[in-house]
Structure 1
Amino acid sequence: MAINEDEESRGQEQIRESLLQDENSPADGEYEPSQKSSQGHHWMVYFSTFVSVCGSFEFGSCAGYSSPTQSAIREDLDLSLAEYSVFGSILTFGAMIGAITSGPIADFIGRKGAMRMSAVLCIAGSFCIYFAEGALALDIGRLATGYGMGVFSYVVPVFIAEIAPKDLRGALTTINQFMICAGVSVAFIVGTVITWRNLALTGLIPCVVLLLGLFLIPESPRWLAKTGREKEFESALQKLRGKDVDISQEATEIQDYIATLEKLPKPKFLELFQRRYLRSVIIGVGLMVCQQFGGINGICFYTGDIFETAGFSSSIGTITYACLQVVVTGIGAAFIDKAGRKPLLLVSATGLVLGCGLAAIAFYMKVHELSLQAVPILAVTGILLYIGAFSIGMGAVPWVVMSEIFPINIKGRAGSLATLVNWFGAWLCSYTFNFLMTWSSYGTFILYGVVNALAILFVIMVVPETKGRTLEQIQAAING
C-alpha cells in the first residue's frame, strides 16, 4: 500500500524540533534529548562503550585473521587455492547474513542480547578453526565468526548511539571504527609470531571481556522504552547519567519521541525505490559499492601473500600496514567534521587510484622481468598508499553519509539494503581476489584502479556535502 505522504509530513513536522541538530545522528533515527548531558558523571557511559567496542575489536580480529595465516593453513591442511578462497571469503558471507538479521534480533532480544549472542558464536567459531583438520571445520568456524561479526557491525554503533549523551556521542562512535582497525592490525602483527591455530584463540579474549562486561552495564534505555519496560528504562537511564542527575525531562522526551516515531508510516522494501526516496538510496548504496568493489577486502585479507608475491618480507610489510591503518584511521576520524565528507572521499579515492597504479606497475615489471630490484619497493609503496587512502575516508565516511541521508521512516530498511550490498561486495571481492591474481597480478590492480576512478566521478556528480547541515536540511535537499 502506498505511503500517505500527508500523514508522513505531519509526523515528521511533529518531531522536527526534537531531532538531533548535528551530523552525527544516532543510528536508526534515535533521538538525543535537549537536556544538558554534561551534568553528572559519565563513567558508566565510558565503561559501557568500552565493553561494547570489544565486539568491534573482535570484528577486526576476524577480518584480519586470514592475511598472516594463508601460507601456513594451506601447507598444514593441504588446501587448494579454491578451498582457501572459500575459507577466506565465507567470513563475509556469514557477515552478510548476520547484518540482514541483526536489526530484528537486536529489536527482539535487545542490544545486549544481540552482542551476547554474537560473542558466543565467535567463540564457537574460533574453537572450530583451532581444532580443524580439514576444510569443512575451517569453513564452519569461519562462517560462525562471520555471522557474529555481521551482527556486531550493526548493534555496536547502535548501542553506543543510544546510550551516549549528545556532547560525547561523536567522539564515542568513532571508537567503533578505530577498534575495528585495531583488531585487524593486532591480528596482522600477532599472526607473524604465533601459529594460525593459536591466532584463532586470540579472538576469545575480546569475546570473554564482552560477555563478562555485559553483566555490569545497563541495556539501551531507548530499547527498553520501545518495548514498554518503564521501570527498567528509567533505571538504565539513571545509571548512565549518574544517580544525582534529574532524568525526568530526558525520560519524558525520549518516550514522547518514540511514541511519535511509531506513528510514522514505514514503507515496504519496494517503496524505497519510489521517486521521493530514490536519490538517497542511490547515494547510500552507491557509496557502499564504491567502498567494497575497489578491492579493499581482497587486499586486506591477503596482504601477506601480496607482499610475498612481490618479493618483500611478509612480516615487515604486514606490521607496517597494520600500524599505518590505525594511525590514519584516527586522523580521518579527527578531520571528518572539519574537512567535510566529500573532500575526504575525493582525497581517499584519488589515493586508492594511485596506490592501485603503483601496485599494477610493480607486478607488470615483475611479470616482464623489468628492473626487478624496484618491484618490492613499488609494490609495498602502492599497498601502503592504498590502505592509507582507504583509512582516511572511504573506510568510514560512507557509513556516516548513509546515517545522514535517509529519512527517519525508511532508515531501517534502507540501511539494511545498503549494509547488504556492502557485505555482498566484501564477499565477492574476497572470494575472487586469489583467482584474479592467478589470472593477472597487475591486471587485478588495474581493475581495482578503474573502479576507484569511477568512484571519484560518482562522488563528484552524485554525493552531496552534508557537513554543517541539519538532518532536515540534508534530507529535504536530497528527497524534496
Structure 2
Amino acid sequence: MDGESNSKRFPQYIAALSVCLGSVAAGSVLGWTGTISASLKNGDLNGIEADDDILGWIGSFATLGAMVMCFPIGIICDYIGRKWACLTTIIPFSIGWLLVIFSNGPAMIYAGRFLTGLAGGAFCVAAPLYTSEIAENEIRGALGSYFQLLLTVGILLSYTFGAVTTPKTLSIICAFIPIVFGLIFFFQPETPIHLLKKGKRQAALESLQKLRGAKYDSEKELTEIQQHLDQNTQNKVSFLQSLKTKASKKAFIICLGLMAFQQLSGINAVIFFLGNIFESAGGAIPSNYATIGVGVVQVVATFVSSLVVDKFGRKVLLIGSAFFMCISGILLGVFFTLKDRNILNDETINNISFLPIVSLVIFITVFSLGFGPIPWMASSEIMPPEIKSVASSIAAIFNWFLAFIVTRFFNNLVQVLNADVTFYMFATISLIGTFFVFFFVPETKGKSHREVQDILNGVHTETKNADGIDNPAFKNETAFH
C-alpha cells in the first residue's frame, strides 16, 4: 500500500495495550482462586468456609458468566462500538467485586464471580475485535497477542497478591484494576471499520489518522475499507446462508476446533487450581511460591509469543504448543502414577518432587507461546467479515462452556479417576490437537483478510514475500479442502 512506509505504528501499539489493560482485569478474575484456595477452605473470606464442592463452583461460576456474555457482546460491539463495549464492562466488574468483598455466604460469592466472569468474557470478544480492526497487517499478530499477554499479567497479579494478603484484600485490589483500565482506554479512538459501518466517514478518517499518523495516506486505506464493506453489504446474506460457503465452513470449524483443544488441554483447571495441584504433588517449594513462579513463566512466555508470532507464524507455534503440552501432561501423569499408586517409596518421590514443577512450567510456557493467544486471534483473522461478530461470539461461548465443564469437574475427575489418568486424558487431547493444526489450520501470517478468505476458498492469489518476490498466497495452505 502506498504511503505505508510513512505509517506510525507507535499509536497502534498504545491503543492495543490500552484496550488490553482490561485483559488484566479479566486475568485477575481467572487467577483469583490460584493461591487462596486453602484460605477459602479455612473461612478467611468473611468467615465463609468453602469445601471442595463450593470451591469448584466458585471457580466455575466465572467461566459460566463469561459463556453467557459472549453472544450479547458481539451484538453490543456492532451497536455501540468496540470501544464503548469494552468500557461498559467496568460496571459488571465493579458490582461483581463488591459482591465478593461484602459477601455473607457462598451465594454472594457465586453472584460476584458470575458478574466478573461476565465482564471478562465480554473482553474475550471485544478486545481482539478492537485490536484486529486498528492494526496494520504486518503487526496484527503482535498486537493481537497483547490480549493474552495482559491476561497472564492479571493472573500473575492475583497469584502474587493472593499469596501475601487475605482473600478480601485481594478482591479490593482486583476491583481497582478495571477502573484504571477505563481511565486510560477512554482516550483511545473507535475503530475506523466500525465508524464506517455507521456511516461516520469523517470520524473514521480522524481515527485512522490518529492510529497511523498525519503523513500516512489514510484516505486511500479508508477507501479500500469502504469498498470492502460495500461489497460485503451487497453480498449480505443470513448467518446460516453464509455458512454454506467453503471459506465460512472452514473458518468456523477451525475456530471451534482451536477453542476445543485450548480448553480440553486442561489449562483452566491448571490456572484455577494450580496451588492445589502443587499441594497434592508435595515438594520442598511452598505451593504459593511455586504457583507465583509458574505465573511469571506464563507472562514471559506470552511476551515472547508476541515478539515471534509475526516472524514464525501461527501454525508452527500452535503445533509446537500442542505437542509439548502433550509431553508435559504425560510427565505430570507419570509423577502422580508413581506417587499415588505407591510404586515408589516416599523418599524416592521426594527426590523427584521437582517433576510436577518442571511439567507445569513446560505446560504453561508452550501454552502461552501458542494455544493461549492464537485461538482468540484466529477468530478475528480467519472469520469472513459477514459472519465475524456472530461466529466469533459462538466460538467464545463454546470456549467458555468447555472451560466451565473442565473447571467445575476437574476435582471430581481427580477423585474418580485419580490425578494421573486425568492428566493422561489432557495429554491425549493435546496430541490430537497437534494433528488437527497440522492438517487443517492455514497460516495467516502477514496476509490480509482478503488473502485469508482466498486461502480458505482454495482461490489462487498472489502476494509478495519479504524480498518483494511474488509467491502463491496459498502455497502449502490447501489442507482442509
Q: Is 1:153 the equivalent of 2:124? A: yes
The answer to whether structure 1 residue 104 and structure 2 residue 85 are counterparts is no
Q: Which moves more between the two structures, 102-111 or 141-150?
A: 102-111
Alignment of 1:272-291 (within 5 A): 272=243, 277-291=248-262
Rounded Cα–Cα distance in structure 1 between residues aligned with 2:217 and 2:446 = 31
TM norm structure 1:
0.85
Separation of aligned partners in 2, 1:454 and 1:36? 44
2:282 is matched with 311
Deviation, 1:39, is 3.2
Equivalent-residue separation in structure 1 for 2:425 and 2:312 (angstroms): 29
Aligned to 1:322: 295
Shift of 1:148: 0.5
SS of residue in 1 equivalent to 2:455 = helix
Partner of 2:325: 352
Whether the 8 Å CA contact 1:328–1:391 is kept in 2: the answer is: yes
- Residue 399 of structure 1 corresponds to 376
Assess if the C-alpha contact under 8 Å between 2:145 and 2:374 holds in 1. Answer: no
Q: d(CA) in 2 for partners of 1:175 and 1:167? A: 15
Written as runs of structure 1 = structure 2, the 5 A alignment for 1:436-451 is 436-439=413-416, 440-451=418-429
**What is the match of residue 199 of structure 2?**
228
**Is the counterpart of residue 211 in structure 1 residue 182 in structure 2?**
yes
1:471 counterpart letter in structure 2: V
Q: CA deviation at 1:84?
A: 1.4
Per mean C-alpha deviation after superposition, the further-off stretch among 178-187 and 256-265 is 256-265
Higher alpha-carbon deviation: 62-71 or 270-279: 270-279
C-alpha distance in 2 between matches for 1:50 and 1:403 = 17
Residue 33 of structure 2 is aligned with which of 66, 78, 82?
Answer: 66
Identity of counterpart residues, as a percentage? 31
Change in 2 beyond 3 A, CA 1:103/1:362: same
Q: Please tell me whether the aligned partners of residues 123 and 203 of structure 1 are also in contact (alpha carbons under 8 angstroms).
A: no
1:415 aligns with 2:415: no
How far is 1:245 from its partner? Answer: 5.9
- The alpha carbon displacement at 1:151 in A equals 0.9
* Most deviating of 123-132 and 407-416: 407-416
Q: Distance in 1 between matches of 2:249 and 2:226?
A: 31
SS in 1 for 2:163: coil
Q: Which of 443, 452, 457 is the equivalent residue of 1:476?
A: 457
Give deviations 1:15-57, integer Å, cap 9, x for gaps.
Answer: xxxxxxxxxxxxxxxxxxx453453656654443332111111
Counterpart residue number, 2:151: 180
Counterpart residue type for residue 345 of structure 1: L
Secondary structure of 1:412's partner? helix
Amino acid at match of 2:440: V
- The alignment yields a C-alpha RMSD, in angstroms, of 2.5
Partner of 1:463: 441
Amino acid of the structure 1 residue aligned with 2:340: V
**Structure 2 equivalent of residue 12 of structure 1:** none
- Secondary structure class of the residue paired with 2:89: helix
Where 2:35 maps in the other structure, the secondary structure is helix
Amino acid across the alignment from 2:452: L
Question: Distance between the aligned counterparts of 1:361 and 1:300, measured in 2?
Answer: 20
Matched residue count: 447
1:274–1:187: structure 2 CA closer, same or farther, 3 Å change rule? Answer: same
Contact kept in structure 1, 2:147 and 2:373, CA below 8 Å: no
Kept in 1: contact 2:142–2:309 (CA 8 A): no
- 2:410 aligns to what? 433
CA contact (8 A) 2:124 2:396 kept: no
Does the Cα contact within 8 Å between 2:73 and 2:393 map onto a contact in 1?
no
Structure-1 separation of matches of 2:82 and 2:204: 13
Structure 1: where are the runs of 5+ without partners?
1-33
Cα distance in 2 for partners of 1:273, 1:245 equals: 39
Relative distance call for 1:109 and 1:177 in structure 2 (3 A) is same
* Paired amino acid for 1:268: F
Q: Which moved more, 1:88-97 or 1:226-235?
A: 226-235
SS at match of 1:176: helix
1:162-181 maps to which residues of 2 (within 5 A)? 162-181=133-152
Q: Which SS does the other structure have where 1:446 is aligned?
A: helix
Instruction: Map residues 247-396 of structure 1 onto 2, 5 A cutoff.
Output: 247-269=218-240, 272=243, 277-312=248-283, 313-369=286-342, 370=344, 371-396=348-373
Q: Which moved more, 1:80-89 or 1:258-267?
A: 258-267
What is the CA–CA distance in structure 1 between the aligned matches of 2:192 and 2:440, rounded to whole Å? 37
Q: Residue 66 of structure 1 aligns to a residue in which SS?
A: coil
Unaligned stretches of 5+ residues in structure 2: 459-477
CA distance in 1, matches of 2:134, 2:242: 31
Which of 133, 148, 151 is the aligned partner of 2:104?
A: 133
Q: Deviations over 1:316-367 (max 9, x none)?
A: 2112101111111222333333333333222212211111111112212221
Distance 2:19 2:92 in 1: 16
Give the AA of the match of 1:59: A
**Distance 1:281-1:43 versus aligned 2 partners, 3 A rule:** closer
Q: Which amino acid aligns with 1:459?
A: V
| Match of residue 84 from structure 2 | 113
Q: Is the 8 A contact 1:37 1:166 kept in 2?
A: no
**In the alignment, is the contact (CA less than 8 A) between 2:246 and 2:457 conserved in 1?**
no
What is the TM-score normalised by the length of structure 2? 0.85
